[in-house]
Amino acid sequence: MRVIVNEPLLAKRATWGRRIMALGFALLVLAVIMSLNQQTVWGAYVVMLAGLIVMNIGVWIGGKALRTPRADEILDKSLKGLNHGSRLYNYLLPVDHVLLAPPGLYVLTLKFQNGQITARGEEWHRKQGLWATFRALFQPRMGNPGRQARKEVAKVQSWLQRHLPDAEIPVRPLIVFVNPEAKLQIAESAVPAVALADLKGYLRTTLKEKTLPQETLKALTDLCDEQIV
């Protein structure tokens, strides 16, 4: 399997993420200093809130690039040995992670949350302790993974419609929980979801499905390769 990563984009995100998080941290320090003065103690709360907001913006912008290991590195390691005709595009197509394989495209929606995660139909819930709740203030929210995955699939389908309007290319969503401390209880989820340890096995099973016509697969591969910077 070939793995392609948009390194320039990640470098840019990392730089801006560090700068914005540094600004947020500076605001938090200022809030502490202001809280020591009785005349500015109420203003300290405002500055503290602003600092938390700025910190979260920095995490949102630079989190994917600053995370160690990065999401693309995690996927690369997990999928080693997968079908040699597959290609994993990271931060190059309309969504972050897209696997191109003979049966079509797989949109991989990664989630890093830990704790007890349950899904039934369209409903997703996460149970976590007090300390984990505090740490979550500085981490991306889980949100609704199913809804996010379908939105990402829609983006890829729209992109394909613009560039290959006559081709019938399946685009499959797949939610991947990469944190080994995540305990999944998935019941009738509208979108498939797996733990990272089960990802390769899941894909190996689905890759046995009907493959795309050779001409369509070549056109799709060429289109995806054109996005490489």
Identify whether residues 111 and 183 lie together within a single domain.
yes
Lowest mean pLDDT, pick from 54-68, 80-94, 123-137, 150-164: 123-137
Output the six-digit token pair for 64.
Answer: 């994917």
**What is the rounded CA–CA span in Å between residue 111 and residue 175?**
7
- Region 167-183: mean pLDDT is 92
pLDDT band of residue 121 (cuts 50, 70, 90) is confident
Domain termination site, one of 31, 47, 66: 66
Angle at 144 between CA 192 and CA 137, to 5 degrees: 130
Q: Are residues 55 and 90 located together in one domain of the fold? A: no
Write down the mean pLDDT value for the chain: 89
Give the CATH number for residue 98.
3.40.1350
DSSP code, position 68? S
* Range(s) of the domain holding residue 149: 71-225
pLDDT of residue 139: 55
Residue 129's pLDDT is 59
In this structure, are 56 and 78 located in the same domain? no
Choice among 37-46, 166-175, 187-196 with the minimum mean pLDDT = 187-196
- Same domain as 89, residue 58: no
Confidence of residue 127 (pLDDT cuts 50, 70, 90): confident
What average pLDDT does the segment 74-85 reach?
A: 87
Pair 111, 55 in one domain: no
Determine the pLDDT at residue 186: 79
Share of the chain above pLDDT 90, in %: 64
pLDDT band at 115 (very low <50, low <70, confident <90, very high): confident
pLDDT at 201 over 70: yes
Q: How many domains does the chain have?
A: 2
**84: CB partners within 8 A, 6+ apart:** 1
Q: Please tell me whether residues 23 and 119 are part of one structural domain.
A: no
- The pLDDT assigned to 59 comes to 85
The torsion of the CA quartet 75, 79, 85, 91, rounded to 10 degrees, works out to 0
Mark whether 29 and 102 lie in a shared domain. no
The average pLDDT across 112-141 equals 69
What pLDDT does 48 receive? 95
Residue 83 has pLDDT above 80, yes or no: no
Query: Are 92 and 156 members of one domain?
Result: yes
Q: Are residues 15 and 127 in the same domain?
A: no
Same domain, 88 and 101: yes
- Co-location of 159 and 219 in the same domain: yes
Q: Are residues 114 and 48 in the same domain?
A: no
pLDDT tens per residue across span 16-74: 999 999 999 999 999 999 999 989 999 999 999 999 999 989 988 888 888 889 999 99
218 falls in which pLDDT band (50, 70, 90)?
very high
Domain end position, chosen among 19, 41, 66: 66
What is the reported pLDDT for 113? 86
Q: How far apart are CA 86 and CA 75, in angstroms?
A: 13
- What pLDDT does residue 130 have? 56
Distance CA 217, CA 222 (A): 9
Domain end marker among 13, 44, 66: 66
H-helix or E-strand containing 104?
A: strand 104-111
